[in-house]
Amino acid sequence: METLTFLLSGTLIAGTPLLIAALGALVTEKTGVLNLSIEGLMAVGAIAAFITVTHGGGYWSGLLAGGIAAMALSAIFGFVVLVTLGNQVATGLAIGILGIGLSGLIGRPYDSATVAPMAKMPVPFLADLPVIGPGLFSHVPLIYLAPLMALATWWVLKSTKLGLRLRAVGEDPDAANSIGIKVRRVRFFAVLYGGFCAGVAGGFISIVSATLWADGLIAGRGWIVVALVVFGTWRAGRIALGAYLFGLATLSGLLVQTTGVDIPSQLLSSVPYIVTIIAITVLSMQPARVRLNAPVSLGQVYHQTR
Amino acid sequence: MRWPITIEPRMAHSPVLALLPPLIAVSVTLVASALILASLGVPPGRALYFLYVAPFSTTFNTAEVFLKMAPLLLLAQALAIGFRARVWNIGAEGQLILGAIGGSLLPILFNDSTNPLMLPAMVMIGGLFGMAWSAIAAGLRAKFNANEILVTLMLNSIALQLLYYLVSGPLRDPFGFNFPQSAPFPLAATLPILVEGTRVNASIFFALLVTVGAWLLMERSFLGFKLRVGGAAPDAAHYAGFGDRRAIWISLLIGGAAAGIAGTFEVAGPLGQLQRVVSPGYGFAAIIVAFLGGLNAWGILAASFFMAVVYVGGDIAQTSAGVPYSVNTVLQGLLLVSYIAARVVTDYRLRWLPAMREA
Amino acid sequence: MTADPLLDLDGLSKRFGETVAADGLSLRVGRGEIHAILGENGAGKSTLVKMIYGVLAPDAGMIRWKGERVDLKGPADARALGIGMVFQHFSLFETLTVAENIALASAESVEKVRKQIVEIGPRFGLTIEPDALVHGLSMGERQRVEIVRALLQEPELIILDEPTSVLPPVAIAPLFETIRKLAESGCAVLFISHKLAEIRELCHRATIMRRGKNVATVDPTEESEASLAQLMIGREIPHPTREAATLSAEPVLSVQDLSMASDDPFAVSLADIDLELRGGEIVGIAGISGNGQRLLAAALTGEALIGSGDGGRIELLGQDVTDLGCAERRALGLAYVPEERHGRGTVPELDLAENALLTAHGKALTDRGFVRRNAVRTFAESCIRDMDVRCSGPDAEARSLSGGNLQKFIIGRELALEPKVIVAAQPTWGVDVGAAQAILQRLADFRASGVGIILISDELDDLLDVSDRLHVLFRGRLSPSIARADARIDLIGAYMAGESAASQNEITA
């Protein structure tokens, strides 16, 4: 029973930052921009949030600071990709490296420092249920908000004018331009939004789940986020499912240890990466499904002839 | 009001203009490095000295530049071949680790051997290990169209865990006081030193040889032509009947082999044993070198030299002024970002619009 | 009422790099007028209308609307003034519904737009289903969506860019009916076309463009097709000459019972294709584009191979090539002129010499894995000379050539392979009259020398000029073969519109 509680709660804690960042990346990619710098953006968000909380800012201010810091870095990405028309893959890698470097540099005085955990907000009545109460309903508010955010992202993309505009720009920027949508502006805001989400997710990791700062804290989660969007075939619901599955996969190590089977810890640490490779491969085997949802212009330079 | 300037694609490329983006990127990096170090309390003059002059202040330091240039050059040449074919091998770091592991097997198993064939055999095995690792990504991409960026990245993390496991278990030095590292390699398993009292070794010659080979392949051979067509216009390659699967396999296997050999050179060179850390991020830095060199063999030669200076300068600043290692990472990121942004001057041109004619 | 025209253009100019697409254009359009812009491909018609619609900003000159000078910052400005536009290449999003597509360009909600579509459409003979996804619609239906989208803005001027080029002949009369109703309601219409007969039938006035300049404004009903052609290209429209050819005894290319699904879930699949081509004949494939032409070309040339779930057999020169790819079929003697010149037929960033190497590497242009650079240059030079390609030489990058010149280069290269079978897809698409004539003449000459040619085109006039037989492609199926002598517009048009075999029999009877 305790194991189950632990699994439920651990899955939510590990899956939430992945989900938040992936929903942001989804919006960015829907407009046709592939941002591979999520890892660096999350790192910058993590340290900005950590510093804010360390210096007496609240947890919400911390998350906001993380979001804004990452958004600022993603603005550089947006400028290079949309204004100077840089290759999106190379620019994403470069900004990612820059972000990781910056987080290490700024975070050096805080290496191995810790913060107190964020206050939990148990859901009335539900939190008192056995097993699922402590597993699902005794968490910080952000954990309840993440699935709502997935729902909202799905609804906005599917049913609002804003969503139509975002999708139109990603599907055919030339056509979007010719009916008067400001392609570059839409894409830039989508990049900023994706950056903000990545920053909040990074902040969640440093001040909510890990409650400490260390160089390399993000540890490849930004890349798993990029993979999640592909795995979720650009659909919010599937991305949410994927994020929690990956959250569960990261727990597998701890889970196996409780059974007493002797497996090298390094193998267990590799599980999320192996799962990602398998997930990407299985998904790529169904090209029709990818084609139906993937933004057609993803990753391509768009040069507006005006 | 409308913008008075418009940007349009260039129809022809000028070789002089092509020098501009790397020069802009290097200048931005020079200024930024002085500013960053100044913010850490190092006066700008001293900062620039540490980073860009000190690397040439002693024979040992200069030799270090060429020592670090070798893997960067070797990796960047191989990666650039793939990048020109639009095959994004981001996994050189992991392939290098596998190469280090493969290259270490013989000297660990035959620790007292003096066989002169040991070194060539190590390089072969290291290269094959690197290739095998990249072949996973190549196979998944060629057969299932799985995105090679994500697969190679994940393989990096897995390679690192594999290395940790091996050096703390099966390949650990039994007489090494439980330190996570292998036994020191015998002399027959180490690269010859070029200059007495330094660490620079024969690997730089190999990297230079690969540079010439990369140029011949990409600029003169039909295979290189096919790879370039596949990268510049995949539909045209399809139309011509140049198989894209072949391009994927070739690009990734060349990258894997080069990275594997570079990994072997690290353990057979400056490290002299297998350790938990076999590369200070060469696999990622080489991506930057490849772009900074314009994906061109001779450009990469110059770019790898500059990157090696940044590496050595960063080390010196770290030991002399306590500057954190992250500064290096920041500078690498800046170098690539400013290079890509500056590319706009070669790929596009700005045109001033004539003033609106009044009728 | 003032005497100001609705739209008054004064000296508009636009340059793209070295090309001057519009050079001091002036033009006036009055209320309720159907005004034609006539010019051949590349004359600058599209550039002109894009400036009027605010998609492109003019480098010089001015636009007056109802006498007031306007500076259009984008299509939104143009729409606010009352200018609507129907693009030649539709700006519709395939994954969205009709109503969503229209709502995107308007301030209204999707719900409101759905009601408007049902209200306004039938008034102008434009019935469409608002909840249909665009990717399932035919070209004609998509055009209706575009027109309704423009109409919902209640425009005073509506621009139609080559609207008949996507329609089967039978659908043209209803479109003209719609346009006349619009004009009667007071809306001015700018009708862009290069088809002389249509303009004479429909338009009140015509502005004729040549090389970015306005060369004349005339009343088209008082002109003959010959005099309009004279104004448009400076001479009469030339026709290629066909010499006698002898058919080969055996087919050089035959397709049996070919069915193939497209990679693109929104594209048409091929079904039950049977096709036979002999040496010395040109078999035309007519049809509105988007009916499977691309996939048919890919299937014939080996760009697309039969996958699981598909079926059929393709023979080239008596050999089963069903499972052979592009390069192998080329080695057997098949040349292929693809529809896309930039990015498929050539690599834009590479020079012409390297682009020659793309398909001609079998012509001893490589030696032990290395490129014979001098041989490649010589080969490229001969292609350039042979087809009179206007360029600075083999070092010119492909992207620096105009569409027509690049197409001539590709044709020259493919013909230099000395093929026995040629598949040419839309070879005259977007090419000026002179280049189109040169290309068709070349194909006709190769036919005379015994080569078998499949000519896929949506320019019916070109097909009728050079083909020995025709098939019509509709929704991935081929019509029966129509001999040159029987190729009447009404019969072909019926097949293009997808009318059943039974009704076709009535037409022929």
Half-sphere exposure of A251 (CA within 13 A, CB side): 21
Q: What is the DSSP letter of B220?
A: I
Inter-chain touch C397–B11, beta carbons under 8 Å: yes
Q: Three-class SS of residue C452?
A: strand
Q: What is the mean pLDDT of residues A292-300?
A: 83
Residues C459-507 have pLDDT tens digits of 888 999 999 999 999 999 999 999 999 988 888 988 988 875 444 444 4
- Whether A242 has a pLDDT exceeding 90, the answer reads yes
DSSP string, C202-234: H-SEEEEEETTEEEEEE-GGGS-HHHHHHHHHS
Residues A56-69 have pLDDT tens digits of 999 999 999 999 99
**For C4-18, C202-216, C322-336, C414-428, which range has the lowest pLDDT when averaged over its residues?**
C4-18
Chains with 3+ CB–CB pairs under 8 A to A are: B, C
The position carrying tokens 């037409």 is C507
Q: Which residue of B has its CA nearest to C63?
A: B359
With a pLDDT cut of 90, the percent of chain C lying above it is: 55
> Residue B336: exposed, middle, or buried by beta-carbon count in 10 A (0-12, 13-18, 19+)?
buried
Tokens at residue C170, please? 């039978």
Backbone angles phi, psi at A282, to 5 degrees: -60, -40
- CA–CA separation, B86 and B84 (whole Å): 5
Question: Helix, strand, coil proportions of chain B in percent (round to 5)?
Answer: 70, 5, 25
- Whether A239 has a pLDDT exceeding 60, the answer reads yes
**CB of B148 within 8 A of CB of A226?**
no
- Whether B258 has a pLDDT exceeding 50, the answer reads yes
Q: What is the mean pLDDT of residues C377-402?
A: 91
- Whether A289 has a pLDDT exceeding 80, the answer reads no
Inter-chain touch C61–B359, beta carbons under 8 Å: yes
* pLDDT computed for residue B358 by the predictor: 38
Inter-chain touch B232–C349, beta carbons under 8 Å: yes
Tokens at residue B327, please? 């500064």
- Whether B344 has a pLDDT exceeding 90, the answer reads no
* pLDDT classification of A185: cutoffs 50, 70, 90: very high
Cβ atoms within 10 Å of C250's Cβ, excluding its own = 12
**CB of C159 within 8 A of CB of C83?**
yes
* pLDDT computed for residue C122 by the predictor: 83
Q: What is the mean pLDDT of residues A281-288?
A: 84
C169-172 long-range contacts (CB < 8 A, ≥24 apart) are C169/C460, C169/C489, C169/C490, C169/C492, C169/C493, C169/C496, C169/C497, C170/C493, C170/C494, C170/C496, C170/C497, C171/C140, C171/C497, C172/C198
- Whether B311 has a pLDDT exceeding 80, the answer reads yes
> Residue B191: exposed, middle, or buried by beta-carbon count in 10 A (0-12, 13-18, 19+)?
buried
What distances in angstroms separate CA C12 from CA C28, C43, C46, C158, C190, one per listed residue? 12, 14, 13, 19, 17
Q: Distance, in angstroms, between C192 CA and closest chain B CA?
A: 26
Chains with 3+ CB–CB pairs under 8 A to C are: A, B
* pLDDT computed for residue A221 by the predictor: 93
Q: Helices (DSSP H) in A131-263: which residue ranges?
A: 132-136, 141-159, 161-171, 173-178, 183-203, 221-231, 236-259
Inter-chain touch A291–C264, beta carbons under 8 Å: yes
Q: What ipTM was predicted for this assembly?
A: 0.91
Q: What is the mean pLDDT of residues B15-29?
A: 89
* pLDDT classification of C264: cutoffs 50, 70, 90: confident
- CA–CA separation, B234 and B242 (whole Å): 9
* pLDDT computed for residue B17 by the predictor: 82
* pLDDT computed for residue C3 by the predictor: 62
Give me the residue from A179, A287, A292 closest to C105, CB to CB. A179
With a pLDDT cut of 70, the percent of chain A lying above it is: 98
- CA–CA separation, B173 and C204 (whole Å): 94
Q: What is the mean pLDDT of residues A286-304?
A: 80
- CA–CA separation, A17 and A38 (whole Å): 12
Q: What is the mean pLDDT of residues C383-397?
A: 91
The position carrying tokens 């010859």 is B192
* pLDDT computed for residue B5 by the predictor: 64
* pLDDT computed for residue C502 by the predictor: 40
Tokens at residue A107, please? 């975070």
Q: What is the mean pLDDT of residues C11-31?
A: 87
Inter-chain touch A180–C90, beta carbons under 8 Å: no
* pLDDT computed for residue A290 by the predictor: 77
Q: What is the mean pLDDT of residues B269-292?
A: 95
**CB of B111 within 8 A of CB of B183?**
yes
Q: Three-class SS of residue B20?
A: helix
- CA–CA separation, B173 and C380 (whole Å): 63
- CA–CA separation, C460 and C455 (whole Å): 11
Q: Find the helix packing angle between C373-386 and C352-360, rounded to 10°.
A: 100
Q: What is the mean pLDDT of residues A37-46?
A: 98
- CA–CA separation, A268 and B171 (whole Å): 19
* pLDDT computed for residue C424 by the predictor: 97
- Whether B13 has a pLDDT exceeding 70, the answer reads no
Residues A83-100 have pLDDT tens digits of 999 999 999 999 999 999
Residues C192-230 have pLDDT tens digits of 988 888 899 999 999 999 888 999 999 999 988 888 888
- Whether B67 has a pLDDT exceeding 60, the answer reads yes
* pLDDT computed for residue C505 by the predictor: 45
* pLDDT computed for residue C434 by the predictor: 84
DSSP string, C386-401: HTT--SS-TTSBGGGS
Half-sphere exposure of B11 (CA within 13 A, CB side): 14
**CB of B339 within 8 A of CB of B290?**
no
Residue A21's nearest CA partner among A40, A8, A7, A6 is A40
Q: What is the mean pLDDT of residues A136-163?
A: 93
Cβ atoms within 10 Å of A246's Cβ, excluding its own = 26
Residue B293's nearest CA partner among B283, B304, B309 is B304
- CA–CA separation, C444 and C467 (whole Å): 9
* pLDDT computed for residue C509 by the predictor: 35
Chain B neighbors of C399, CB-CB under 8 A: 9, 11
Q: Which residue of A has its CA nearest to B147?
A: A280
Residues B213-244 have pLDDT tens digits of 999 999 999 999 999 999 999 999 999 999 88
Chain A neighbors of C265, CB-CB under 8 A: 288, 291-292
Give me the residue from B6, B154, B324 closest to A273, CB to CB. B154
A285/B233: higher pLDDT: B233
Tokens at residue C180, please? 């006349």
Q: Three-class SS of residue C426?
A: coil
**CB of C60 within 8 A of CB of C13?**
yes
Residues B161-203 have pLDDT tens digits of 999 999 998 999 888 888 899 999 999 999 999 998 999 999 9
Residues in chain C: 509
Q: Distance, in angstroms, between B160 CA and closest chain C CA?
A: 38
Tokens at residue A36, please? 């591979």
Q: Which residue of C has its CA nearest to A173?
A: C91
Tokens at residue C204, please? 């009140």
The position carrying tokens 């029966």 is C480
Cβ atoms within 10 Å of C234's Cβ, excluding its own = 11
What distances in angstroms separate CA C307 from CA B139, C258, C261, C310, C376, one per listed residue? 20, 11, 8, 5, 36
Give the end-to-end CA distance of chain A in Å, rounded to a whole number.
Answer: 64
> Residue B135: exposed, middle, or buried by beta-carbon count in 10 A (0-12, 13-18, 19+)?
middle
Q: What is the DSSP letter of A81?
A: I
Q: Distance, in angstroms, between C398 CA and closest chain B CA?
A: 9
Tokens at residue B303, please? 């770019």
Q: Three-class SS of residue C84?
A: strand
**Residues 164 to 183 of A: which have CB under 8 A from any C CB?**
164-165, 167-168, 171-172, 174-182
Residue A33's nearest CA partner among A223, A262, A229 is A229
- CA–CA separation, C127 and C148 (whole Å): 9
* pLDDT classification of C365: cutoffs 50, 70, 90: very high
With a pLDDT cut of 70, the percent of chain B lying above it is: 95
Q: What is the mean pLDDT of residues B30-37?
A: 92
**Strands C157-161, C83-86: pairing kind:** parallel
Q: Which amino acid is at A133?
A: G
Q: What is the mean pLDDT of residues A73-92?
A: 95
Contact status of B150 with chain C (Cβ, < 8 Å): no
- On average, the pLDDT of chain B sits at 92
CA angle C44, C46, C47 (to 5 degrees): 65
- Whether C99 has a pLDDT exceeding 90, the answer reads yes
Q: What is the mean pLDDT of residues B77-97?
A: 96
- Whether C266 has a pLDDT exceeding 90, the answer reads no
DSSP string, C404-424: HHHHHHHHHHHHTT--SEEEE
* pLDDT classification of B4: cutoffs 50, 70, 90: low
Residues of C contacting chain B (CB within 8 angstroms): 10-11, 16-18, 57, 59-62, 71, 73, 302-303, 325-328, 330, 336, 338, 340, 343-350, 354, 357-359, 361, 366, 369-371, 397, 399-400
C329/C170: higher pLDDT: C329
Q: Helices (DSSP H) in B40-180: which residue ranges?
A: 44-48, 59-84, 92-109, 118-144, 148-167
Residues B91-101 have pLDDT tens digits of 999 999 999 99
- On average, the pLDDT of chain C sits at 89
Residue B78's nearest CA partner among B300, B234, B281, B277 is B300
- CA–CA separation, C178 and C176 (whole Å): 5
Inter-chain touch C344–B238, beta carbons under 8 Å: yes
Tokens at residue A229, please? 């969007």
